[in-house]
Amino acid sequence: MFHPENKTLELSKLLARETSGSVLLTESKKRDLRFSRFALQWSVGAAVTTLLAWKLLPVRTDMPEQLRTAGFYLLTGLWLLSSLLMGHQFFGFAFPETGANETSRRSIVRTRQLALLPLAVIGLISFSTIHFDDLTFQIYRDSHAFNGGCGMVIFVAGSIQAAFLYSWMKKGATTRQAEAGMWAALSTGAFTSFLISFACQNEHPLHILIWHFLPLGGLALLSGLVARKFLRW
């Protein structure tokens, strides 16, 4: 049996969704939420971080030898690729999940596993090269605070670059603040790890896992908590 009120309700929902989509597109242009603008903001933050690293961090003494090894290019390339892919994930959270943006939002979410893949490869490479015969000594050596400078740099420099992304995100209307904040920190922390590759000569796998990965995870969790308070609209 046909019920006119059901058809009216469906039409109302459709019109509301189409209207919200057109409003979203208009607001995106008005607030300059284009990807090119986001890329510029990310690049400015990256440039500031790079300048600070160049001024404050020493260049590793074995850099000439490293530039002749494929492993160095592989790891630094994975850090940089991870940073860029995670930044793309962050960009997707600038918009509410409504209307015309829903399709593009879903396409970004589908690439989430791809964004985490380079980071997973770095972790797998580091874990696979651990020598378990003297594991206790390695943990004692690499967990010492004397070796923790990399972690501090990742935390501080990653936070500075994330602030640039936050200022851009404030123009948007994210409905998932914590996730957006975590992706911002993962992107900026990974970029800082890319820069540290040119300064840190400690390539022991436990050092990478303890002083590169753990600070990156801690920064992501803290950024998620901060984003819940800061990224409101």
What one-character DSSP code corresponds to residue 146?
G
Among residues 28, 25, 50, the alpha carbon closest in space to that of 37 is found at: 28
pTM over 0.75: yes
pLDDT digits (tens, 9 = 90+) for 207-230: 888 888 989 999 999 999 999 888
Does residue 24 have a pLDDT over 60?
no
Q: Please report the pLDDT score of residue 13 as a whole number.
A: 47
Among residues 199, 197, 208, the alpha carbon closest in space to that of 60 is found at: 199
pLDDT band at 34 (very low <50, low <70, confident <90, very high): confident
Cβ atoms of 62 and 197 closer than 8 Å: no
Return the domain boundaries, the chain: 4-230
pLDDT band at 176 (very low <50, low <70, confident <90, very high): confident
**Radius of gyration of the chain from its Cα atoms, rounded to whole angstroms:** 22
